[in-house]
């Protein structure tokens, strides 16, 4: 039968509901508060959740919002309360709950709600990307999420001081409302079409690495900034350059001032090293929930090894590595030998020999470099051109020369 999770701070209610549903043949797990419910949800995805609204640590509505924002609302949720109102029921339904039961709950209403929930066909929707809300145990990421939301209340443009490879896109998705349009300005070629902006009304724009923009692209950016209010858009920019560096590169002062009006510093993965085990497990859980990889988990030793690694490619490299490990793993638990990473005391071996001619060594390095970034960008040539700073025609020629093939299939993704 189904695996159900009952979340209620009253032990009597938990035991009563559990007894009834186990008699119906269901596998039931119990949680006395939101913290325990998070742990169960992160460890495995139940087929259905019965969630109390009033709890001592975090109320059920807040937990429901958290799951929705983190892309974890993949199971039907029925809310329960002894002091509910119509407004509360409406809000829960708007967030994603499928039903609302008022305490004391009759046997017939309980069984009917569970039956309807388990028979319900989930809507076919694109999986939500991960957001900062997915990492509630990381104090730096909680703080970044708080500062980001406070800034968004007063600004349409927020600049994140971070490398484009790090947490910029993750932070940007944290401000995206469920179902709201999303547009990566880095995927656009040529002049920006006002109709394209109008079609994303009320949505979220993202730009990584503006320091690489040429003069025509800078004019495009200025064009977009002038129309943010007209189309009710917000723009999040991930930038590794300072205001002075952009001005020295010939940027217009007014454009630089507009970009740097609201600046937030973003922690690097090195600064988040203590939080990496939780971040890694949450990324893997999201990949499993969205059916991108089979169910897996990391052994403690494997997590320790991944935590020790220096992730020079940032969040993108970390997520790509986790995905590749999960796809290649033969057992449910991914263990240390499957990680295949050198220990912190052992420098990684290099296929480049200093005894080789310079031309051969350079070719090996270039192949490794482009293979790495092709993997991170999943074949997206627009992003790869921005990342490497090469014009697209030159980039295609270079990949062909190295015997590599980039994909065109995700140019607009």
Give me the pLDDT at residue 91, please. 86
Domain 273-339 belongs to what topology? Helicase, Ruva Protein; domain 3 (1.10.8)
Spatial CB neighbours of 252, under 8 Å, sequence gap ≥ 6: 218, 222
- Give residue-wise pLDDT tens across range 180-238: 899 999 888 778 889 999 999 999 999 998 998 999 999 999 999 999 999 999 999 99
Under a CB-based contact definition with an 8 Å cutoff, are residues 280 and 322 in contact?
yes
Percent of the chain with pLDDT over 70: 91
**Given pLDDT bands bounded at 50, 70 and 90, which one contains residue 127?**
low
Cα torsion 222, 226, 230, 234 to 10°: value is: 60
Identical fold between 3-119 and 273-339: no
Candidate from 129-143, 247-261, 370-384 with smallest mean pLDDT: 370-384
Who has greater pLDDT, 125 or 383? 383
Please tell me the predicted confidence (pLDDT) of residue 344: 41
- Please state which CATH class domain 132-265 belongs to: alpha beta
pLDDT (tens digit per residue) in 278-288:
999 989 988 88
> In 3D, which of 204, 233, 10 has the Cα closest to residue 103?
10
Are the CB atoms for 233 and 204 separated by under 8 Å? Answer: yes
Fold of 3-119: Rossmann fold (3.40.50)
pTM, entire model: 0.63
Average pLDDT along the chain: 85
Give domain limits for the chain. Answer: 3-119, 132-265, 273-339
Cα gap 317→286, rounded to integer Å = 16
- Indicate the range of 54-68, 72-86, 143-157, 331-345 predicted with least confidence: 331-345
- Categorize the per-residue pLDDT at 399 as very low, low, confident or very high, splitting at 50, 70 and 90: confident
């Amino acid at each position: 039968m189904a695996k159900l999770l009952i979340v209620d701070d009253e032990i009597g209610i938990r035991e009563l509901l559990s007894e009834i549903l186990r008699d119906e043949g269901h596998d039931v797990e119990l949680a006395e508060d939101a913290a325990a419910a998070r742990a169960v949800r992160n460890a495995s995805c139940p087929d259905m959740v019965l969630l109390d609204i009033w709890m001592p640590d975090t109320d059920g509505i807040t937990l429901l919002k958290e799951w929705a924002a983190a892309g974890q609302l993949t199971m039907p949720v029925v809310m329960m309360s002894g002091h509910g109102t119509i407004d509360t029921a409406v809000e829960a339904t708007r967030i994603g709950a499928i039903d609302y039961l008022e305490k004391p709950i009759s046997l017939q209403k309980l069984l009917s709600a569970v039956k309807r929930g388990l028979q319900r066909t989930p809507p076919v929707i694109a999986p939500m990307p991960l957001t900062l809300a997915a990492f509630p145990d990381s104090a730096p990421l909680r703080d970044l999420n708080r500062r980001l939301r406070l800034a968004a209340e007063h600004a349409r443009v927020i600049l994140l001081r971070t490398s484009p490879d790090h947490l910029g896109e993750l932070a940007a998705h944290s401000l995206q409302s469920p179902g709201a349009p999303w547009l990566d300005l880095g995927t656009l070629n040529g002049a920006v079409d006002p109709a394209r902006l109008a079609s994303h009304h009320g949505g979220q724009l993202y730009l990584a690495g503006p320091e690489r923009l040429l003069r025509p692209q800078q004019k495009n950016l200025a064009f977009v900034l002038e129309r943010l209010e007209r189309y009710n858009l917000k723009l999040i920019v991930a930038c590794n350059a300072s205001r002075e560096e952009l001005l020295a590169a010939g940027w217009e002062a007014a454009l630089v001032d507009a970009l740097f009006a609201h600046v937030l510093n973003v922690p690097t993965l090195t600064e988040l090293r203590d939080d990496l085990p939780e971040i890694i497990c949450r990324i893997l859980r999201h990949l499993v929930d969205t059916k991108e990889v089979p169910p897996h988990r990391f052994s403690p030793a494997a997590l320790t090894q991944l935590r020790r690694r220096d992730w020079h490619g940032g969040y993108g490299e970390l997520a790509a590595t986790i995905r590749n490990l999960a796809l290649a793993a033969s057992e449910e638990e991914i263990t240390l030998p499957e990680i295949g990473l050198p220990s912190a005391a052992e420098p990684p071996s290099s296929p480049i020999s200093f005894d080789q001619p310079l031309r051969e060594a350079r070719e090996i390095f270039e192949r490794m470099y482009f293979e790495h970034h092709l993997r991170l960008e999943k074949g997206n040539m627009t992003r790869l051109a921005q990342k490497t700073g090469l014009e697209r025609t030159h980039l295609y020629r270079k990949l062909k020369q190295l015997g590599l093939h980039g994909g065109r299939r995700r140019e607009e993704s």
